[in-house]
Amino acid sequence: MARKHLLADLIPAKLSADNSSAQTQDLPEPAASAFVSRGAIGAVSRSIEMLKSQSITELDPDVIDAPDVTDRLEESDEHFQEFAAQIKEHGQQVPILVRPHPTQEGRYQIAYGRRRLRAVKAAGRLVKAAVRQMSDEELILAQGQENSARKDLSYIEKALYSAELERKGYSRQLIIGALGVDKAAVSHLISTAARIPADVIRMIGPAPKAGRDRWVELANRTEHKGALEKARKLLQEALKGKSSDERFVAIFEGLAPTKKSTVRAHLWTADDGVKAAKFKDENKSLTLIIDKQAAPEFGEYLMTMLPELYRAYKDARKTANDEEGSN
């Protein structure tokens, strides 16, 4: 899996034919030879040609800021170090995409390529960047569609990204376009992220193996009393050094509902040998089950006798208390 992610960041994502005009407008037509190859290699070649056709420059990584909403959770240091070593050895093969900062002259905001930017900065080099004028909405579409094409964002990364975009005031339609999913899927993503505090999600991380159903179940489990406090304590103390998937499993299992111990039913046999009833004696209740086949009408008789039995019970309790008081 780590190798797959390394290669995904060393080569550009496929730019699909239905990308928004914000991504493809004013781009020169790639050379015809770039479209001869087919499959994965062909997609890489086409992406390289399209990126090269843009305005490529080298920038100081320190003048590039993150956008208002980022779509990725932090990866493990081990995976990053492996990727950074690849960048240091072979250089940066694919430019990142940035726009001029909307409010700070001389600075930029990154649309995608954060891992590449971080790795190049660690290597002490200038970063190759494609510079494009983009609105906030165009940046989000470029960011989302690049990662959707690569298909390596985990479920919870998409959920948190969707929820934070909506919190920032962006429309559901824009989120649908950025992630390439339908309206129902976006609603489900936002609902899941809203039920688990963002700090807990970030401490767990992307957990790529978890999947939608287990994250939804985790959301259910975090709603129990004291569950979030327990999860935060585990994440801060006991789970340091664990991978994101290992942290998820530990929290998922740690918040599992406590299984109730099963109390075995005991058989009650009358003096005549008839097995008339079973009973369960639990902490707060005594359950009596009458066998209608073994003792027909015994249950009905018992119900009619309950008032008298209860009066006898009260009288016996009163007598016992009076005797204790006189001693």
What whole-number distance in Å separates Cα of residue 215 and Cα of residue 287?
38
Tokens of 56: 């490529």
Q: Shortest CA distance to 62 belongs to which of 21, 11, 120?
A: 120
Same domain, 121 and 63: yes
Q: Assign 213 a pLDDT band (cuts: 50, 70, 90).
A: very high
Same domain, 171 and 243: yes
Cα–Cα distances in angstroms (integers) from residue 179 to residues 23, 71, 76, 148, in the given order = 15, 10, 24, 6
Residue 2 within a domain: no
CATH number at residue 221: 1.10.10
Same domain, 51 and 148: yes
Residue 13 within a domain: no
Output the average pLDDT for the chain.
79
Final residue belonging to a domain, choices 102, 120, 152: 152
Q: What radius of gyration do the chain's Cα atoms show?
A: 32
What whole-number distance in Å separates Cα of residue 277 and Cα of residue 267?
6
pLDDT tens figures, 134-145 = 999 999 988 877
What beta strand segments (E) does 193-273 contain? 266-268
Final residue belonging to a domain, choices 258, 285, 304: 258
Q: Which neighbouring-strand residues pair with 288?
A: 279
Same domain, 66 and 118: yes
Q: Assign 18 a pLDDT band (cuts: 50, 70, 90).
A: very low
Confidence check: pLDDT of 12 > 70: no
Number of domains in the chain: 3
pLDDT tens figures, 256-268 = 987 766 778 888 8
Same domain, 173 and 139: no
Same domain, 246 and 275: no
pLDDT tens figures, 88-125 = 888 888 899 999 999 999 999 999 888 889 889 988 89
Q: Worst-scoring range by mean pLDDT, 37-41, 158-162, 289-293?
A: 37-41
Q: Assign 71 a pLDDT band (cuts: 50, 70, 90).
A: confident
Q: Assign 167 a pLDDT band (cuts: 50, 70, 90).
A: very high
Same domain, 148 and 204: no
- Can you give the pLDDT at residue 82? 77
Q: Which domain holds residue 146?
A: 44-152
- Can you give the pLDDT at residue 51? 52
Name the pTM for this structure: 0.57
- Averaged pLDDT for residues 274-278: 88
Cα–Cα distances in angstroms (integers) from residue 86 to residues 113, 160, 197, in the given order = 15, 29, 35
Residue 6 within a domain: no
Final residue belonging to a domain, choices 258, 275, 303: 258
Other CB atoms within 10 A of residue 41 CB: 10
